[in-house]
Each structure stands twice: as structure tokens, then as C-alpha cells.
Amino acid sequence: MSQNQNLSDLESRLRDLSPGEGLAVLADLFPGKVVFSTSLGQEDQVITQLIANHKLPIQIFSLDTGRLFGETLDLLARTESKYNTRIKLYYPERDSVENWVAKNGINGFYETVENRKSCCYVRKVEPLKRALAGNEIWVTGLRAEQSANRSEMKKIEWDEGNQILKYNPLLDWTFDEMISYIEEHKIPYNPLHDQGFVSIGCAPCTRAILPGEDARAGRWWWEDSKKECGLHSR
């Protein structure tokens, strides 16, 4: 069966399923080969709850860049405790970080877009590739309304950059639907969200957004870019 045919079949099978049902189907079709990357954002917390409550055999992992907010790390510990699970952490390669800082300075990512992207590569993209290696399905918490470039994504799609099928179960959820689900199920979330931080990444690269600003405006606010770090290439 060709990749396109396989993708088409999966699209048909998942089309009318809820996120929890879709996750269960993929875990059954690809045993031991489904992984979920969480950045501990609200969307990701929803998916973690679904995996934990349904006891799905899906490995949950996160990328500790070394520059995360303390609140994010505290949330990781609270999440593990609440759902009696362990979130696997991937770290940047030590030599790569040391070499980058020696060349660019501790906050050299502020200087140019190229510096920022290379920092993201060292701290996020390369660890992600290690986390995805050997797996067949990568689950993410992306939602279409988060940004213009994400609105073009599909629930299940081929990620060319990472050579893996990517499943976005919450793609068509609205922000209000997500918040309602979090409140109904008492899902723990980052207290920074209540302070205007919508999309939360590394501490030096994230700020609260202003009223009326795009949800991704708080990421790398000092540059004019697509507000992506390279994790979700297509």
C-alpha cells in the first residue's frame, strides 16, 4: 500500500471520531509506535488527560530546553502526580548547547532570526528527532485557530521534515471548547495562562500578549517571523 493510500485510509477512519477515540484507534493500529509530545500547554494537558484516563499505550514525552519557566516544570510534576504517569524528558546535547552559547552568548537568540532558529534547533528540534525516531505516529496538541499556517493542517498528515505521520486530534477545537473541557475535568494547567501567556515556550522567548493580539504574538515578539521554531515542518 502506498503512503498516500495509507494516509487516505487513516483520514477516513479517523474523520468522525472524538479525540479520545482517534487516539485509541491509532494506539491499536500502531502498537508501541505512537508517541505524544507535550509542551505542557492547555491543549497538551487535554491530550495527556485523555491518554491517562483511557489508559492508552502512548508514550508521553516533553522537551526540557534548559530555559523553561519554573511554572512549566512545576506543572510537569503536578501532572505526573495527578495522572500517576511518567512524562519522558529529552534534553539538548550538552556539547551542542555549550558550543552555541560560546559562539553566540547566553541570549544571542535576540540578535538575529538565524541565531534564534539555530538555538531552537539545538534545544528543541534535534531532541525532538531523537524522541520521534523509530515511531510511526506523532500526536500533537495543535489547533487550527492558533495561527494562519496551522489553519492549513489536517487531523492526520505526513510530516515531511520528521518523516512521520502526525495526528492533531484537537485541530478543529475552539479555544472556548478547550477551556470548557479543562474546567469540566479539573485538568491542571500553567498559572501563567491566567496572566496573559497564551503560548508558552522558553522563558526568554515568551511574553504575555496584549488584548487583540494573535495567540502566537507572545513568542519571539522581537522579530517578524512565522512564529514557529521548526518543530512542525511540513
Domains of the chain in start order, with CATH, are 3-95+135-192 (3.40.50.620)
Least confident of 101-105, 116-120, 200-204, 213-217: 213-217
- The three-point CA angle 146-88-114 to 5° equals 50
For residue 216, pLDDT beyond 90: no
The span from the CA of 58 to the CA of 52, in Å, is: 9
pTM: 0.91
For residue 227, pLDDT beyond 60: no
**Catalytic pick from 120, 202, 205, 229?**
229
Does residue 229 carry a catalytic annotation?
A: yes
pLDDT tens by residue, 101-133: 999 999 999 999 999 999 999 999 999 999 999
CB atoms within 10 A of CB 228: 16
Residue 194 is predicted with a pLDDT of 96
CB atoms within 10 A of CB 132: 20
Average pLDDT over residues 193-221: 92
The span from the CA of 59 to the CA of 37, in Å, is: 9
